[in-house]
Amino acid sequence: MPNLMGFDGGKHSGNADKCTIMTASAPLVSQGLLANVLVVDDDQDILQLISEYLSMEPNLRLHTACSCDEAIAKLKARRVDVLLADLYLGGESSGVDVIRTARELYPDIVSILITGYPTVETAISVLKLGASDYFIKPFEFEALRGAVRRGLERLRLARENMQLREQLAISRLMQAVGSSVELNEILEMIIGTALRELSAEAASILLRHETTGELELRGLDGRISGNSDADFLYGRDDVTESVVQTGRPKIIDGRQIDLFDATATDSSSRVFISHPLLARGAVIGVFNLIRSGRIRDITEGAFRSAGLVAGQAAVAIENARLYKNLHGAYLDTIAALANAIEIRDTFTRGHTDRVKLTAEAIARKLGWDGDQLFDLWMGCTLHDIGKIGVPDRILNKPGTLTDDEFTMMKTHPAIGAKIIEGIPFLEPALPYILHHHERWDGQGYPDGLAGEEIPVGGRILAVADTFDAIISDRPYRRGRPIELAIEELTTHSGKQFDPEIVKIFLDVLVEHNLSWLLRAR
C-alpha cells in the first residue's frame, strides 16, 4: 500500500525534508539485471543521501537531476528504469510533470513520488499516472529500498513475460519452417513472424545469389513510409552493405545514425534493424525490419529475438537450398535414366513426355497436387526404364513380335523395378513401373492384379500410355487417328482399363482438346 502517513520506525534527522539512511542488506537488483535510476530533487542534500544509499547496489546506475527540465532532458537521453522524484522542484513544474513525461516515454517505468507536504489529492493523482509508490518525508531508506525492489521485480517479470511470448512465437516459427522445404513458403513465414510477433512495420529478406553473390530481394511486406524505408528494405543503403561485409547486426534510428553506443541519444520515432543471415560461417543474406518508436525503447530481449528469427531463417533457407540442389540432382538422374531408353528406342522418342502430361491432366482432375504429382511425374518418366534389359532386336523390331519375343518384352516392368530397388528417392515410382501393364480384368502382367488391387498410379498410367502408343508411330506401324484411340479406350473400359479413369480421361480430352500434347510436340 502507498505510504500516505509519515512514519518513524527509525531515527529521523532534523526536519521534514531529510531522511534516515539505513544499512543495505540483500542486493536491490537481481544478478544480471542492470537498472538506470534517476533521482530528482531540488535539495542537493537529499540527492546526495539517496545517491549514497543506492550507490551501494552494484547493479544500479545512478543519475541525478535538480529541476524538472533537467530531469526530462535526462529521461530523453537514455532509458530510465526507476524514477524517484520530489513533488516540489521549484518554479511552476513539479515531480508530477516528471512522472507524466516518464510514463509517456517508458510505459513500464517504476516511478515513486517523494514529498514533505502530502495531500490525499496529490497521492491519488500520482497513482492514477501509474506511480508505483508515494513516500512522505521523513522516511526510512529501508522502506524506500523495499519499494524500489518491488517495482524492479515487477519490471523484471514483465520483461521476462515479453521475452517468453517472443520466444514462443519463435518456437512456433521454428516448427513451421522445419516442416517446409519450399523456399518461398519459408520466406513468407519469416516475414509474417516479424510483422506479427516482433512488432515490425515492415520487413524484408535479401539473399545472395548462389552463383553471382549479388544480393537479391526475395521477400518484402509491410508499410513503406518513404525513400529511406525503401532504400533500407531493398538493401540500397550502406547499412545492408556493412552487415554483409562484417557479418554483424546493426540497429539505427531514422536519421541513419548508428546508436550501438549506449551514451548516444536519439529523437527519431523509427528504428531500423538489420541482421545477417549466417550459414556455415558465411553471410547468405540479410534480414531487415523497421519498427516504430525509439531505439531506447528496443529492449535487449526484443533485439535478441530479432537475432533468433534471423538465425532460424538462415538455417531454414540453407536447408531449402540444399534440398533444392539435391532435388535437382535427383531430377537429373531420373532424366538421364529416361534418356537412356529413348536413345535406344528412336520410334518412342517424346513418348515419355507425352505420357507424363496426359497422366498429369487425369491426376489433376482427380484432385492430386504437390507430392502426388511429383511422384506421378517420376513414375511416368521411369515407367519404361526396364526396357534397358530388352535386346535391341526386339525393342526396334519392325514386324510383329513372336511369342518368345513378347514374353521377353513383358519382363520390362520387373526389370525396371529391379533397377530402382533399394534407391529410396526413386521408390515412389515403383507402382507406375511395375503395374502399368496390369489389366482391370486381372489378365495383365507381371502380377495379374485386378480392379482396385492395381495401384491407382498404375491405372492412370495404363490409360495414358495406351493412348499415346496408339496415336504414335511404332516400328511395325504408323500412328493411328485420335478417334480410333478413343474408340479403343472406350471399348476396353472395364476390361483392360479402370472405367472411372477412362471416363475422367475423356472428360479431360473434351475440356482441354489435347492442349497438353501440343506442349510436348
312 & 365 share domain: no
The residue among 345, 351, 409 whose CA lies nearest residue 380 is 351
Both 378 and 487 in one domain: the answer is: yes
E strands in 246-321: 250-253, 270-279, 282-292
Cell 532504400 belongs to residue: 231
User: What is the Cα–Cα distance from 200 to 204, expressed in whole angstroms?
Assistant: 10
Which range among 23-32, 81-90, 251-260, 435-444 has the greatest average pLDDT?
435-444
pLDDT recorded at residue 276: 93
pTM: 0.48
pLDDT beyond 90 at 367: yes
26 is a domain residue: no
Residues 257-298: tens digit of each pLDDT: 443 444 444 444 678 889 999 988 889 999 999 987 666 556
Q: How confident is the model at residue 254 (pLDDT cuts 50, 70, 90)?
A: low
Local confidence band at 220 (pLDDT 50, 70, 90 cut-offs): very high
Q: Which residue has the higher pLDDT, 187 or 173?
A: 187
Is residue 190 within 8 Å of 309, Cβ to Cβ? Answer: yes
Instruction: Say yes or no: 504 and 372 in one domain.
Output: yes
Residues of the domain holding 235 = 180-319
In a domain? residue 29: no
Q: How far apart are CA 383 and CA 355, in angstroms?
A: 10
70: in domain: yes
Q: Which of 34-48, 381-395, 488-502 is modeled with the greatest confidence? A: 488-502
CA pseudo-torsion sign 501, 502, 505, 506: negative
Is residue 514 a part of any domain in this protein? Answer: yes
The phi and psi torsions of 436 (rounded to 5 degrees) equal: -80, -5
In a domain, 88, yes or no: yes
Same domain for 252 and 212:
yes
Q: What are phi and psi of 95, to 5 degrees?
A: -65, -25
Q: In this structure, are residues 434 and 421 in contact, taking their beta carbons and an 8 Å threshold?
A: no
195 lies in the same domain as 301: yes
Q: How far apart are CA 35 and CA 32, in angstroms?
A: 10
- CA distance linking residue 70 with residue 63, whole number of Å: 11
Is residue 414 one of the residues assigned to a domain? yes
Please tell me whether residues 204 and 310 are part of one structural domain: yes
Question: How far is residue 302's CA from residue 272's CA, in Å, rounded to a whole number?
Answer: 13
Q: For position 437, what pLDDT does the model report? A: 95
Of the listed ranges 54-58, 73-77, 450-454, the one predicted with least confidence: 54-58
- For residue range 122-181, what is the model confidence (pLDDT) as tens digits? 666 666 666 777 677 776 777 777 777 777 777 777 666 666 666 666 666 666 566 556
Are residues 508 and 363 both part of a single domain? yes
Q: Is residue 335 part of a domain?
A: no
Tell me the CA distances in angstroms from 71 to 39, 99, 251, 444, one per residue in order: 8, 10, 26, 92
Q: Do the Cβ atoms of 194 and 328 come closer than 8 Å?
A: no
Residues 360 and 351: their CA atoms lie apart, in Å, by 14
H or E element in which residue 240 lies: helix 238-246
DSSP assignments along 375-443, one per residue = HHHHHHHHTTGGGGGS-HHHHT-SSPPPHHHHHHHTTHHHHHHHHHTT-GGGGGGHHHHHHTT--TTS-
Q: CATH number for the domain including 383? A: 1.10.3210.10
Specify the residue for cell string 525503401: 230
Q: Are residues 204 and 128 in the same domain?
A: no
Q: Which of 48-62, 193-207, 325-339 has the highest mean pLDDT?
A: 193-207
197 and 309 in a single domain? The answer is yes
9 located within any domain: no
What is the chain's mean pLDDT, rounded?
A: 78
Q: Do 119 and 236 share a domain, yes or no?
A: no
On whether both 48 and 84 belong to a single domain, the answer is yes
- Say how many domains are in the chain: 3
